[in-house]
Amino acid sequence: MQFYFFFLFFIILLCGRYNIIQGHYFIPKQMGYKISVLFIIFVTAFRFNIGYDWSSYLSYVYPTFNPLNISRLEPLDKLIIGCAGYFNQPLIMFSVYAVITYANIGILINKYSVSKFESLMIYLCLFYLTDLSTIRQAVAVSFVFYGFKYIEQRKIFKYFLICIVSILFHKSAAIALLFYPLYYAKPMTTMLAVIGIYVGMKVVLPKILGSILPIFLMYLEKGGIKDSSGSFQRLVYLILFLYALVFHRKNSSGFVNICAVGVILPFVLGGHTGGRLAQYFLIYYCLLIPECNKRFNINYRILFMIPFYAYFFMYLIVSVTANHSNEYVPFRWYFFEDLNQNLM
């Protein structure tokens, strides 16, 4: 757990607004941000057995590489994992995924966020630990997020190409094709559509299917579509959305539209499927929340970040105590571990 305290503190020190002692920039602002992103890439690439799917990815490459084991994966994943398997070097795979993911996120935040520090910390506290497990989807989400520049520039063909690249990493990224029209939709239209989707999936669809095909209804219930029990994570996302709904500025209404759909998906499709798809939408909190906070003074914005830090460590504690596993704790480095000894 101590590593994660250091991890966040180091980024706060590098990327935060003020030097703790003198009230001035600790290092040049832009340089601090770039070092922070590089540090995140370094930590992500060189972690060892951190994230519940890390060992599964390792097994694709080590101790032996079998192309049949990755036959179900998307083409660009096959390319990266195949290269790592050819050289029998899992570190190639983890490093390439880390560089692509955080270069995309880092570049987009650097260009479009009104507060790079707040955006980066919101990402780390809300999404980073999950992305350490959902490696392929994290890359797809990062490309979709990077593609916002083409939404903002109204270059629909380039955005479409970015979506295709994302799909070549994870098929679920196809849902991002909705973002272009969603971003430019009128807020009221979006809200009515979201309410319609929720009512349709939760009330109308189960009744129709229940009368026509009871077995299929049972499948929907097991899949979580009828399970509306809100986890703490869903509650956090909902509270953030309500905050954004109240305090967002006119130029950020497109982000509100996107996040509105992301908030509702876990309630409609269940925690697993809906939660995974919601990641494509909710990462826009990294741009939306700083926009909302821009109207407040720096002291408020510093205090506003404290619950995010608390959520980050709560997530770590719950992942250890509830699952009785060491998916994240203790943090271990790749170059200090023996693959053969630790993964027997």
Note the pTM of the prediction, 2 decimals. 0.86
Q: Kindly report whether the peptide bond that precedes residue 330 is cis, defined as omega within 30 degrees of 0.
A: yes
Q: Nearest to residue 39, comparing CAs of 16, 10, 2, 4?
A: 10
Ramachandran angles phi, psi of 96, nearest 5° = -65, -45
**Domain spans of the chain, in order of start:** 1-173+308-344, 185-304
Residue partners of 37: CB distance under 8 A and separation at least 6: 102, 103, 105, 106, 120
What's the CA gap between 55 and 107, in Å, rounded? 29
| List of residues 6+ apart from 4 with CB closer than 8 A | 312, 313, 316, 328, 329, 331
pLDDT in tens, the chain (344 residues): 789 999 999 998 888 654 443 445 556 667 889 999 999 999 999 999 999 889 999 999 998 899 999 999 999 999 999 999 999 999 999 999 999 999 999 999 999 999 999 999 999 999 999 999 999 999 999 999 999 999 999 999 999 999 999 999 999 999 999 999 999 987 655 565 566 655 555 554 455 444 544 544 444 444 444 443 347 888 899 999 999 989 988 888 899 999 999 998 888 887 778 889 999 999 999 999 999 998 888 888 889 999 999 999 988 888 777 665 678 988 999 988 888 765 55
